[in-house]
Structure 1
């Protein structure tokens, strides 16, 4: 059996959630151009092929001859599979290995997504250029099936962002240009998980005592559900250099700053109730364990999030009249993400007349082990990473370009800190693409890419604010396999 105090502790602490797997490392998105995707984005900060240069290197806008727009989308189709087992808050074994079990392996927790992008660049003089980018720099969406064996650690994660990037560039001389701009970002998140406060035990299902008992089929699987939603605006900046080393070789450097956001919204339990397990069993009737629905008011809360800074280095070399070689490396400062917290911003019902405050359990009363005002905490300890890419563009004829690329992207998630929210490991990209020039002003780009990761292990438990384990006996262990396919389409028009 398990005490009420421990059940409350495990249910509320474990209600924190974190970002999930995405196309690039962490929750970063690389899909800002079909032409770029064709070469695994290699060398893009050193070239000005179309208006998407606003994103890759705004300084290179000075290399464009005419005002132009580029727009399109990337289609992502991912498949994620988990195989494993777990324990509930009482330490009972749970598994999704067969259809008779109330739990499951979560199904395909990835899915389909369209990621749009749009750019405008205008060289208004020989030395000055301006531009605007509208795209998605960060985002992810995963959703496990109901009663996923690790549902007490992760259910749904949805992070959506939209960035406006006004930019300006100035050509200092024939070789060197400098540029930069603002990164104005809107982010919206919905993060949820199941809550196991009444551990199910099949052995007592035939020994029902008085009241609602532990073995009641109503409490097979997870009987509770927690969700936090929020949104916010943030502002950062970027700066870039473009240098023409020779007639055949170009260099590019782009830096992007961190952006701080507080995703402010509400933390809620399903139907605003929490199933409180009461251990009333006695020697005479060990199965007399009742469950009391306790009202829980929505709690105003925030999820602090700092997007990582990054530095991209690129080079292109015109090897022949037809063949352009491309290479690049990007450093991303994911070490800014050490912990993931859900923090109460105000008390919902100070006198508790209408029920239990989520945050009341964490206002220094010693129940959760968290600091005052904290609703949930996850230990992440991400690290800084590098991604490298090589690619080539071949001019087949006056109308058609062929592209290919390969990228290796380190994961910021260390094996010992991997969570069901971020089942991530180092990943590799193989991409192919083509460009078609309709006339002097109109062209199209198409690209396809396949991402694969090595199988990765998961072993997760709940932790307190000091990153030590809680009293909860809940855990999930197993192995992930993830594959992702991407298809991108882009149109370009010069004025």
Structure 2
């Protein structure tokens, strides 16, 4: 027992350190991440709510813990590499002149997503569990000379969830489970600032362009950098019903929540009047305490598992997510009208420092998969999922997304005598179309109306998107 306890402690430490140290990535079902388990990734998460193979059921359906005996651990990691690059990009500044620059390069770096899950049977009718995983993530980083740099530079969101869970069963094939996600998230938004509109009000439109160009050549364009973090909680409730020895159904629902990412906004290289400067302007740094609300959607998942023969199992599932909760990405002041940035921009009252219209839509994901148990030791898996993008009319440079098809293959090796199991999976994301961005700045008070203060500012781009993923997972039944 002492030896087993040491194994558990080491596994928990490994998963915690890796999860905290590793960033998440972009464009996997809104900003939710599919890569939570190699064993389920092998079948594209098909029927995950009804297929409790190991301790990863803590995430997919806590009711599934009732079908695991003794103590179980699962831990592993996935790597996700997305190629997201604008094949064409152009922009105009506030005065309507073209913005020089590049297409921005590949905006998404490879990311490693670790996970750890544990279940323990308390009695014949009660099981408990715990998980550490990365449920949400977002990362995009353009080259500094990106032509759309006045709309986006860096976009980062990293979320880590700690998930205690409990399940009960009635001994007649029906189980119920509940899990609580205690999530820590930190985010960052950066972009370059176009000063031409503000200068036009002071020196006229004809002089604003040359003056801004001279300022940027000497000092660089002003740069806005906003960071914040928060803790939020949501819940997952699951049911699992064993209709027969070969067929069972699962249903799980997750509540919505909202992060209030609190931190600081900094604008560096902001121009202020200076008589000693040859162009009459010199850079200053402005700071203000801010908060960024971020909505997390409700979701509901249904799954089915049917053992067609002694060696073939069929799986299917569907998930509905209420992404329409994500209507805007706003940065609000925590200092009121007295903040340095608010004073310079003239922002007052409840008006945000910055507003981005999102207006996402609700989405569906559909999954099918199968498992072939070729021998007592070896199983082979395949899966397909259609994942609908929540980004519809208001595609932005920060999240250029499209509908996608997910194809996966997996294999599993098990040693029944020792209780060890190893899963490996690979997958590819095929996007249904190129993502086409036509972005403007909109009013917070009328999110579909263009902001007149932004003038002729606009960014258009067409993105080629592709991705692959791979995962490995080690499980042990004690």
State yes or no: 1:459 paired with 2:438: yes
Using the size of structure 1 for normalisation, the TM-score is 0.84
Contact 2:347 2:353 in 1 (8 A): no
State yes or no: 1:86 paired with 2:91: yes
Pairwise CA distance, 1:190: 1.2
* Residue among 127, 130, 138 paired with 2:128: 130
State how far apart, in whole Å, the 2-side matches of 1:458 and 1:339 are.
17
State how far apart, in whole Å, the 2-side matches of 1:443 and 1:196 are.
56
Contact 2:189 2:227 in 1 (8 A): yes
Kindly provide the CA deviation profile for residues 246-273 of structure 1, in whole angstroms up to 9, marking residues without a partner as x. 2111100111111221100000012xx4
Contact 1:312 1:328 in 2 (8 A): yes
Question: Which SS does the other structure have where 2:293 is aligned?
Answer: strand
Kindly provide the CA deviation profile for residues 409-459 of structure 1, in whole angstroms up to 9, marking residues without a partner as x. 111111x21111110111110000100114431110000000021212110
State how far apart, in whole Å, the 1-side matches of 2:74 and 2:466 are.
29
- 1:246/1:474 CA distance change after superposition, 3 Å: same
Using the size of structure 2 for normalisation, the TM-score is 0.86
Pairwise CA distance, 1:89: 1.8
Contact 1:405 1:430 in 2 (8 A): yes
* Residue among 159, 162, 165 paired with 2:160: 162
Contact 1:195 1:222 in 2 (8 A): no
Pairwise CA distance, 1:478: 2.0
State how far apart, in whole Å, the 1-side matches of 2:193 and 2:363 are.
33
State yes or no: 1:306 paired with 2:295: yes
Kindly provide the CA deviation profile for residues 221-244 of structure 1, in whole angstroms up to 9, marking residues without a partner as x. 961211100000011111110001
Question: Which residue of the partner structure matches residue 180 of structure 2?
Answer: 182
Cα root mean square deviation, aligned = 2.3
> Could you list the runs of 5+ residues in structure 2 that have no partner in the other structure?
1-23, 198-206
Contact 1:21 1:423 in 2 (8 A): no
Alignment of 1:5-16 (within 5 A): none
State yes or no: 1:490 paired with 2:473: yes
State how far apart, in whole Å, the 2-side matches of 1:269 and 1:360 are.
13
Kindly provide the CA deviation profile for residues 327-377 of structure 1, in whole angstroms up to 9, marking residues without a partner as x. 0000001011111100000159x4xxxxx8112246656xxxxx5352011
State how far apart, in whole Å, the 1-side matches of 2:264 and 2:401 are.
28
Alignment of 1:77-476 (within 5 A): 77-82=81-86, 83-95=88-100, 103-198=101-196, 213-216=211-214, 218-219=216-217, 223-270=221-268, 273-275=269-271, 290=279, 292-293=281-282, 295-346=284-335, 350=338, 357-361=340-344, 372-414=350-392, 416-440=393-417, 441-453=419-431, 454-466=433-445, 467=447, 468-470=449-451, 471-472=453-454, 473-476=456-459
Contact 1:362 1:374 in 2 (8 A): no
> Could you list the runs of 5+ residues in structure 1 that have no partner in the other structure?
1-19, 96-102, 200-208, 279-288, 351-355, 366-370
Question: Which residue of the partner structure matches residue 202 of structure 1?
Answer: none
Pairwise CA distance, 1:66: 2.4
State how far apart, in whole Å, the 2-side matches of 1:340 and 1:125 are.
47
Contact 2:215 2:279 in 1 (8 A): no
Contact 1:197 1:276 in 2 (8 A): no
Question: Which SS does the other structure have where 1:129 is aligned?
Answer: strand
Question: Which SS does the other structure have where 2:120 is aligned?
Answer: strand
Contact 1:301 1:342 in 2 (8 A): yes
Aligned length: 435
- 1:70/1:434 CA distance change after superposition, 3 Å: same
State how far apart, in whole Å, the 2-side matches of 1:27 and 1:51 are.
24
Kindly provide the CA deviation profile for residues 81-127 of structure 1, in whole angstroms up to 9, marking residues without a partner as x. 101211012211135xxxxxxx1100000111000000001122111
State how far apart, in whole Å, the 1-side matches of 2:264 and 2:79 are.
31
Question: Which SS does the other structure have where 2:353 is aligned?
Answer: strand
Contact 1:25 1:409 in 2 (8 A): yes
State how far apart, in whole Å, the 1-side matches of 2:130 and 2:55 are.
9
Pairwise CA distance, 1:214: 4.5
Pairwise CA distance, 1:173: 3.3
Greater mean alpha carbon deviation, residues 445-454 or residues 431-440: 431-440
- 1:311/1:474 CA distance change after superposition, 3 Å: same
- 1:364/1:342 CA distance change after superposition, 3 Å: closer
- 1:277/1:46 CA distance change after superposition, 3 Å: farther
Kindly provide the CA deviation profile for residues 48-72 of structure 1, in whole angstroms up to 9, marking residues without a partner as x. 1010011111011110122110000
Contact 1:166 1:182 in 2 (8 A): yes
